Structure 1
Amino acid sequence: MDGIRNGRVFVTLGDLISELYVRVEGGHHTADIGSTMHVAQGADAKVTIRFKDPDNLNSWKQNPEVTRVDLIMGEVRGPVTNRNNDNNPTTKVIARFTKADWTVNDGYREITYTISKLGKKSYIRIRGTNSSELEPQVDEIGESPWNELWFYSNPIFIDVE
């Protein structure tokens, strides 16, 4: 319950992954999912992503495999004026990773990436999929939802000082 209250969670569909750990390191500070890291203006930050892709069948009798992980970043710009607006135009995928980009260590897939020269208060989050779609799409009527599965992390905030 403490993890849910403090935003240290991820969501996965169809048992695509069973564990996800994301850490950002910069200067002498670190932050994990649901927390905030403070760094100096212009500093670099190293992002480490670790996830477990279980080797067993889900409830649809499939063993889906993660084919891509996206690192998403956006600016934190303060309170919104229109609470019905659900997008942040500064948010974008800054890196996409495939099997060629990760290593396997004790059953975990591991990815490291450096974000250079941080300049604004921002956040990162992670999503992954077993599909070839670049962005999640609404399923067509009759389409099996089991063919494209996704996972999503809560954000890590980066406070640039």
Structure 2
Amino acid sequence: MAEQVVHDYTGYFKASNLQSEIRPISARIDEMLLRLEEFENLLALVKEGSSVAVQQHIPKIFSLKPEFDELCGRLDQLEKFVLMVTKNLDIVERQVQIAEEELDIPDKTINVLLKSLNIFGKSKQVEKQSNRNASGFYEAPDIFKTEDYFCSRNSGRDSEDPIM
């Protein structure tokens, strides 16, 4: 029986053209091996680039950290300065508005027109505010001085200034 199986397989291999069937498979395997080798080379380049970044670029970035921290601090101080200036400006604008009311300077907004026409019923009695102190004199609000925040270039002050 073994001879019969060997004879049948021999006939099968002789009858079929194995070379034509194996050639495309072999070509595919060779192509996959080539792609795998290209991928391996690419992976080696990435590893090399990563090591260059770790060894060269990251230390440079860390060396810039103090300057970055200083810049962040200056930006925080500038933000506080802008907030303080905004508050001062609101105070001054409110005082200008009160002064205009005291001096009876007409406001050019549509609200004044509507109030003067009294279309929407009775006007509300609003307590008049004043910029004057108890003795009747104008008292200016405390506002910032730019000299406290910005050094002049001629004053010779060093970089201890919070903004400039």
TM-score by length of 1: 0.19
| Bigger share in helix | 2
- Give the greater-gyration-radius structure (CA): 2
Greater relative contact order structure (CA < 8 Å, 6+ sep): 1
